[in-house]
Amino acid sequence: MCVNQRFGVALVTTGLLQLKHQSYAEDFEPIDRTCTCSTCTQYTRAYLHTIVTHEPVACSMLTIHNVAYQVCAVATLLRCRALVSTSVIFKFNPTG
């Protein structure tokens, strides 16, 4: 996953956020509004765009976000799995 951070890529629900792209130079939103990681709560896309090609710390900042995103995604999948496994619909057995 460190390759993504080195190339200025953040994980978001819509796919990959390429923070090196010029379109983020004046984007003052966090990487993900719903994320509570320290990167999203303290820094904007514009700031990360500015440092992603110049400061090694940008890799760490993106790693913090990407790990938090993955933890949240796995937790969501586990909750869905638990709901499906306890659902009456999926326990219905028409043959017996």
Where in the sequence is the domain holding 81, given as residue range(s)? 2-91
Question: What's residue 80's pLDDT?
Answer: 82
For 27-52, how does the pLDDT look when each residue is reduced to its tens digit (9 = 90+)?
999 999 999 999 999 999 999 999 99
- Domain assignment present for residue 96? The answer is no
Q: Which amino acid is at 10?
A: A
- Cα 4 to Cα 7: distance, rounded to the nearest angstrom: 5
Q: Give me 32's structure tokens.
A: 């993900």
- Domain assignment present for residue 63? The answer is yes
Output the pTM of the full model: 0.79
Structural domains counted in the chain: 1
Angle at 62 between CA 56 and CA 63, to 5 degrees: 95
